[in-house]
């Protein structure tokens, strides 16, 4: 899918731009000079919802297409939770680049459907290196291979599109695993522990809970996602 973001050159401070209902931004990198920009807030939000951080976007400034960019960072107001500033990284299409790619989980795990387990997602994003033409917005992970609680998917098991190399996490890092049904309290504890959570301990705790009280409904838990970033430019 092709994405186009229209912008105008900004000569005012970001505070004044926001007061006028617009979104200040800066484009940098790729051998180009830094450019302060003014974005249409609604247009950016609509595009970002679909494109995310891993899709190449055509940037048009004052009616002229200057090439491809990635949304490097979106800063948010801690109170209103709306975006206050956007960093756009210009991409040289002839040079290898590094970027995050989201993992999209598809299919149904037999360990969940037939054994009443819960899916624990420990990794939801990978950081890769590739040529811009090879970048994809997401990589699908088919969880139908998780037939028992003894099986798991690790970073080394991810089927990569041609031309993409994973930089982080390491190959042995857990991506997703099915465990016996766990309680809401255990899910909350796992979320707080993030990626340092010991999945084995959660599994043992789940079995103990089932022995004492019978099968308990569980919810999906999620772990922390790590996101490596390159050079960050301010307004």
Q: How many CB atoms lie within 10 A of CB 122?
A: 24
The pLDDT tens digits for 112-151 are: 999 989 999 999 999 999 999 999 989 999 999 999 999 9
What average pLDDT score do residues 34-48 get?
Answer: 95
Same domain, 87 and 102: no
Residues 157 and 61 in one domain: no
- Among 2-11, 158-167, 197-206, which is the least confidently predicted range? 197-206
Query: Quick one: pLDDT at residue 194?
Result: 56
Is the pLDDT confidence value at 206 over 80? no
State the average pLDDT for the chain: 83
Please check whether residues 88 and 144 belong to one and the same domain: no
pLDDT, position 126: 97
CATH number at residue 128: 2.170.120.20
The total of structural domains in the chain comes to 2
38 and 137 co-located in one domain: no
Within a domain: 232: no
Residues 21 and 122 placed together within one structural domain of the fold:
no
How many angstroms separate the Cα of 31 from the Cα of each of 85, 89, 92, 95?
22, 11, 8, 11
For residue 214, being part of any structural domain is answered with: yes
């Amino acid at each position: 899918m092709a994405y186009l973001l229209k912008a105008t050159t900004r000569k005012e401070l970001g505070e004044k731009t926001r007061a006028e209902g617009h979104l200040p931004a800066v484009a940098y990198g790729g051998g180009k000079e830094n450019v302060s920009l003014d974005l249409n807030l609604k247009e950016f939000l609509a595009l970002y919802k679909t494109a995310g951080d891993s899709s190449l976007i055509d940037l048009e400034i004052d009616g002229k297409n200057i090439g491809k960019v990635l949304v490097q960072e979106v800063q948010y107001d801690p109170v209103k939770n709306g975006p206050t500033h956007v960093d756009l990284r210009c991409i040289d299409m002839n040079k290898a680049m590094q970027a995050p790619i989201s993992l999209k989980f598809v299919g149904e795990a037999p360990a969940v459907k037939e054994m009443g387990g819960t899916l624990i997602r420990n990794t939801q994003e990978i950081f890769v290196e590739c040529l811009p033409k090879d970048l994809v917005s997401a990589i699908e992970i088919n969880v139908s291979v998780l037939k028992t609680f003894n099986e798991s998917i690790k970073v080394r098991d991810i089927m990569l599109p041609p031309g993409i190399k994973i930089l982080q996490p390491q190959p042995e890092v857990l991506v997703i695993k099915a465990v016996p049904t766990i309680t809401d309290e255990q899910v909350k504890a796992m979320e707080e522990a993030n990626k340092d959570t010991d999945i084995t301990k959660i599994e043992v705790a789940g079995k103990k809970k089932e022995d004492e009280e019978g099968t308990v409904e569980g919810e999906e838990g999620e772990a922390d996602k790590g996101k490596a970033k390159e050079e960050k430019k301010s307004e």
